[in-house]
């Protein structure tokens, strides 16, 4: 039986930096951070815009996804 090693993304400074960069950009456009949820597999941030849009950022190993009102708007891979 093979065991898989779970890598904790919360300890990865590069993934945290990528999220911070996107958060900074969105905040400069008027978004307000309302919640953050970090678990071992993903970093999640939830934002609201004064126009009513809800935005979610999900960072996993090698991928950052941007959802607006529940729909995937942008997805980028990084190494």
Q: Could you give the CA distance from residue 29 to residue 38 in angstroms, rounded to a whole number?
A: 24
pLDDT in tens, 36-76: 999 999 999 999 999 999 999 999 988 999 999 999 999 99
Phi then psi for residue 53, to 5 deg, are: -65, 140
Helices (H), the chain: 13-28
Rounded to two decimals, what is the model's pTM? 0.86
The pLDDT value given to residue 64: 96
pLDDT in tens, 16-41: 999 999 999 999 999 999 999 999 99
């Amino acid at each position: 039986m093979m065991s898989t090693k779970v890598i904790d993304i919360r300890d990865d400074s590069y993934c945290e930096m990528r999220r911070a960069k996107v958060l900074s950009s969105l905040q400069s456009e008027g978004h307000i951070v309302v919640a953050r949820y970090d678990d071992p597999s993903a970093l999640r941030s939830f934002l609201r815009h004064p126009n009513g849009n809800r935005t979610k950022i999900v960072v996993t190993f090698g991928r950052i996804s941007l959802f607006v009102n529940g729909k995937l708007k942008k997805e980028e891979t990084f190494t």
